[in-house]
Amino acid sequence: MIFTVVLVAGLGCAVALALYGMRQNIMLFHTPSEVAAGEVPGNRLFRIGGLVVAGSVIKADDGLTTDFGLTDLNQSITVRYTGLLPDLFREGQGIVAQGVLNEGGVFVAQEVLAKHDENYMPPEVAASLKEYRDSLPKSMAEYGRKAP
Amino acid sequence: MQEFFYMDGKALYVWGSYGVTLVALLAGLALARLRKKRILREIKESLEQ
Amino acid sequence: MWKFLHRLSSLKYFYEWSGKWVPWLLGLTAVLMLVGLYWGLLVAPADYQQGESYRIIYVHVPSAWMSMFVYVVMAGAGFVAIVWRTKLSEIVVSECAIIGATFTALALVTGMLWGKPTWGTYWQWDARMTSELILLFLYFGIIAVHSVIEEPRTAARVASILAIIGVINIPIIHYSVTWWSSLHQPNMQLISKTPSVHPSMLYPLLVMATAFQFYFVSLLLIRMRNAILYRERITNWVKNSLARD
């Protein structure tokens, strides 16, 4: 019995310590703020996550390359990606991109994945919710966004 | 009806998920039934000896 | 009270009453499953972001919830097995492992099938997916202990200790999406005045989750009855009850 308790406690501590030590690696992506602060070493493949800035999506003439702004509502960064974007990619949507930062400060992505949130509703409800928010004065609409 | 099976073009993923789930759940029950038959047979044989 | 608990934990008594319950539980499972499938696939509306593919939620989320729930049941039984050494709880540990592994594998596979059309990838080593994969390996470990150690009571002790240690992974899975940045969505807010899932989609999800619960209890009882028959195959009560059939 005592042996069991000691074993459980010991392994628990070991796992907790290991997880604490690995904190940085368990994080799937870095934020644009971390990149702006220079916390992400350059010339290395890493993932960046954030929201696609509204009105920032620019398709190049080749029809395949897309430039868009990525923000964590604090800092933004330009992401360039050549290839087919996932269906859920749209303005305001959360995405995770993997790639490298070039000298110009543009994040050149090799892969772009779409995130989605924990909200599920029919299109009609989403539309009426948006209508309701748009009808509110701006300050209230902002408040409403925080508590959907 | 056709739209229902089409699932926005994601049919393979949606029906694949439902398929593996149902197969796994039914297989769980079927395997347990087979095991019971096997055990009963074993006991009966030992009784007859 | 203790006398009642003792009687309940006797294998013979358990075998008798569980036999009466199994058909009803299986029937209820089938009804709930059919209602849930009809509601989720045909009645519930499409999602405003994901369209039809979100319907994978009705098999993915119940599987994922069960993968964790079964583990907690197994670890609880493991605790009882170590402290009171009841045979019945040892059987719960060994039978839960296989059922739990199935739910975990289903959660992973349906999650991958959902991930490809929504995220754009089957797999990412994010905290949620990695910790759920670790859960599968924990189940495999417990199954392996039972098949490697031949003496069932020794196997049960080792498996129980492993099960209890592994419980630490359960809160890690749950909070993985809160503690670390991940590709997986955050946990759904269901117990709230404004749940993050619209009622028209939430109710079928709850029906499916209940159906999975009943499936688990049904299969657990069936598997435990098999295990009891096998363990007690040389006893008189088993031989007598067979002679009666």
Chain B residues within 8 A of C42 when measuring between CB atoms? 4
Q: Which range among A13-22, A86-95, C49-58, C92-101 shows the weakest confidence by mean pLDDT?
A: A13-22
- Whether the pLDDT of residue C23 is over 90: the answer is yes
Given this model, what pLDDT does residue A63 score? 79
d(CA C190, CA C202): 8
Q: Which range among A39-48, C87-96, C101-110 shows the weakest confidence by mean pLDDT?
A: A39-48
d(CA C143, CA C112): 24
Sorted by where each begins, the domain ranges of chain B are 25-49
pLDDT cut 70: percent of chain C above it: 95
Chain B residues within 8 A of C219 when measuring between CB atoms? 28-29, 32
Given this model, what pLDDT does residue A146 score? 39
Chain B residues within 8 A of C60 when measuring between CB atoms? 17
d(CA A88, CA C150): 52
- Whether the pLDDT of residue C160 is over 70: the answer is yes
d(CA C50, CA C53): 6
The confidence band for C18, taking pLDDT boundaries of 50, 70 and 90, is very high
Which among C53, C109, C222 is the nearest to B14, CB-wise?
A: C53
Task: Determine which of A51, A95, A121 to mutate to test the interface with C (most C C-beta atoms within 10 Å).
Answer: A121
User: Residues C80, C82, C87, CA angle at the centre, nearest 5°?
Assistant: 70
What is the distance in angstroms between the Cα of C223 and the nearest Cα belonging to chain A?
A: 28
What is the distance in angstroms between the Cα of B43 and the nearest Cα belonging to chain C?
A: 6
ipTM over 0.95: no
Which among C82, C119, C165 is the nearest to A113, CB-wise?
A: C119
Given this model, what pLDDT does residue A145 score? 41
| Mean local confidence (pLDDT), C200-214 | 96
| Mean local confidence (pLDDT), C130-153 | 92
Residue linked to tokens 């209940």: C210
Task: Determine which of C229, C234, C240, C245 to mutate to test the interface with B (most B C-beta atoms within 10 Å).
Answer: C229
Structural domains of chain A, with CATH? 28-114 (2.40.50.140), 119-148 (no CATH)
Q: What is the pLDDT along chain A (148 residues), one digit of tens a residue?
A: 455 556 556 666 666 666 665 555 677 889 999 888 888 877 788 999 999 998 889 988 887 899 999 999 889 999 999 988 888 888 888 999 999 988 888 999 999 999 988 889 998 888 888 777 777 665 544 444 433 3
Given this model, what pLDDT does residue A142 score? 47
> Is residue B14 a contact partner of residue C51, using CB atoms and an 8 Å limit?
no
d(CA A67, CA C185): 25
Task: Determine which of A19, A40, A90, A119 to mutate to test the interface with C (most C C-beta atoms within 10 Å).
Answer: A119
> Is residue A32 a contact partner of residue A78, using CB atoms and an 8 Å limit?
no
Q: 3-class DSSP state for residue A66?
A: strand
d(CA C234, CA C230): 9
Given this model, what pLDDT does residue C143 score? 93
Whether B20 contacts chain C with CB within 8 A: yes
> Is residue C120 a contact partner of residue B39, using CB atoms and an 8 Å limit?
no
Residue of C nearest to B6 (CA): C52
Q: 3-class DSSP state for residue A77?
A: strand
Q: Which range among A38-52, C40-54, C103-117 shows the weakest confidence by mean pLDDT?
A: A38-52
Whether C106 contacts chain B with CB within 8 A: yes
Given this model, what pLDDT does residue C207 score? 97
Residues 59-98 of C with CB under 8 A from B: 59-60, 63
Q: Which of C39, C60, B11, C44 lies closest to A125, judged by CA?
A: C44
Whether A15 contacts chain C with CB within 8 A: yes
What is the distance in angstroms between the Cα of A122 and the nearest Cα belonging to chain C?
A: 5
> Who's near B25: CB < 8 A, 6+ residues apart?
C215
Is there a contact between C194 and A115 if contact means CB atoms under 8 Å apart? no
Given this model, what pLDDT does residue C156 score? 93
Q: Which of C105, C116, C106, C202 lies closest to A118, judged by CA?
A: C202
> Is residue A112 a contact partner of residue A57, using CB atoms and an 8 Å limit?
no
What is the distance in angstroms between the Cα of C36 and the nearest Cα belonging to chain A?
A: 17
Q: 3-class DSSP state for residue A108?
A: strand
Residue of B nearest to C218 (CA): B29
Of C61 and B45, the structure prediction assigns the larger pLDDT to C61
The confidence band for B16, taking pLDDT boundaries of 50, 70 and 90, is very high
Task: With both helix axes pointing from N to C terminus, report the angle between C57-84 and C87-118 in degrees, rounded to the nearest 10.
Answer: 160
Q: Which of A95, A91, A56, A50 lies closest to A74, judged by CA?
A: A50
d(CA A115, CA C120): 9
d(CA C239, CA C162): 35
Which among C63, C234, C238 is the nearest to B21, CB-wise?
A: C63
What is the distance in angstroms between the Cα of C189 and the nearest Cα belonging to chain B?
A: 24
CA within 13 Å, CB half, C201: 25
In tens, the pLDDT along C127-136 reads 999 999 999 9
